[in-house]
């Protein structure tokens, strides 16, 4: 794989987004490889899956708008969103727990990936934010319903409508992440947590995940069609692309 690294060791599968120059943003190739990696994890019979970013700056900065800007139509946006939504819906369907290791910032689609996982552990310097609204968009990959289930309706709306990034400790207080580790000890703690889970019998791990999901499902495929349709309209709307242009101008100004 070009954009992802997969290592399976002693029952722990570690999937790393390897695009540090783009703050581990997701290109179309990355999205395709994510689905392929999940197939490989199942074949490897791992007992726990860890998803993280390479480096320490970003877990995942969302969709790579530079690579996605050629997709201007509702049809293209809908096709991309449907594929990625289906991929993220596979995470709760896995028989093994999926840990999001937030080694750095998780923004936009990166935050969607994080909340699709079963458990989130964050480095103390990490931030998480659903910034889609600042670009005239809405989440398309299931984040709205997953976030509401995690933190409640009011807090979900506050985060989604405000688009603000929050610190790891604040995310912990509201139940958006389950644990915060000191940045300098994050890698060790992530390895320790994954190894502890992997040491349990496979049938017990699968049974626990299934029983919890039966009480509060972490995927709602019946909501996908309406959400993706609404997202596609916002993606193709001129307001979105004007916001992208403004963001790029600010980025270039900072570089100068």
Span 78-107, pLDDT tens digits: 999 999 999 999 999 999 999 999 999 999
Question: Whole-number mean pLDDT of the chain?
Answer: 95
In whole angstroms, give the CA distance from residue 113 to residue 125: 19
pLDDT band at 70 (very low <50, low <70, confident <90, very high): confident
**Beta strands of the chain (E only): which ranges?**
4-9, 12-17, 48-53, 58-60, 98-102, 105-107, 119-123, 127-129, 165-167, 179-181
* CATH architecture of the domain with range 4-185: Alpha-Beta Complex (3.90)
Q: Report pLDDT for 32.
A: 96
Cα 114-115-118 angle, rounded to 5 deg: 95
Torsion sign, CA atoms 66, 136, 243, 252: negative
List the structure tokens of 252.
Answer: 């270039």
- Which of 8-17, 26-35, 66-75, 177-186 comes out lowest in average pLDDT? 66-75
Q: How many residues does the chain have?
A: 256
Q: Report pLDDT for 66.
A: 82
Q: Report pLDDT for 217.
A: 78
List of residues 6+ apart from 64 with CB closer than 8 A: 19, 22, 25, 26, 27, 30
| Domain limits, the chain | 4-185
In whole angstroms, give the CA distance from residue 17 to residue 240: 26
- Dihedral angle at the C-alpha atoms of 14, 47, 34, 119, nearest 10 degrees? -80
List the structure tokens of 54.
Answer: 């390479």
Percent of the chain with pLDDT over 70: 100
Average pLDDT of the residues in 42-49: 95
Average pLDDT of the residues in 232-249: 92
Who has greater pLDDT, 16 or 251?
A: 16
- Is the pLDDT at 68 greater than 90? The verdict is no
Find out whether 51 and 110 touch, Cβ atoms under 8 Å. Answer: no
């Amino acid at each position: 794989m070009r954009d992802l690294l997969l290592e399976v060791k002693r029952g722990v599968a570690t999937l790393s987004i390897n695009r540090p120059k783009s703050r581990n943003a997701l290109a179309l190739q990355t999205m395709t490889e994510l689905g392929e990696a999940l197939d490989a994890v199942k074949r490897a019979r791992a007992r726990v899956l860890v998803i993280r970013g390479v480096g320490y700056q970003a877990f995942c900065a969302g969709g790579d708008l530079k690579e996605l800007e050629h997709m201007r139509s509702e049809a293209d946006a809908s096709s991309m969103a449907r594929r990625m939504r289906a991929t993220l819906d596979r995470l709760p369907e896995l028989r093994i727990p999926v840990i999001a290791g937030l080694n750095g910032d998780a923004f936009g689609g990166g935050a969607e990936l994080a909340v699709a996982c079963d458990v989130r552990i964050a480095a103390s310097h990490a931030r998480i934010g659903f910034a889609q609204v600042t670009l005239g968009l809405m989440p398309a990959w299931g984040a709205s319903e997953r976030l509401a289930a995690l933190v409640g309706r009011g807090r979900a709306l506050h985060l989604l409508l405000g688009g603000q990034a929050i610190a790891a400790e604040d995310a912990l207080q509201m139940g958006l992440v389950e644990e915060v580790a000191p940045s300098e000890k994050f890698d060790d703690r992530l390895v320790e947590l994954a190894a502890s889970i992997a040491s349990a019998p496979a049938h017990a791990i699968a049974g626990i995940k299934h029983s919890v999901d039966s009480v509060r499902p972490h995927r709602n495929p019946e909501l996908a069609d309406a959400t993706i349709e609404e997202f596609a309209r916002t993606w193709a709307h001129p307001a979105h692309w004007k916001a992208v242009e403004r963001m790029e101008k600010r980025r270039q100004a900072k570089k100068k």
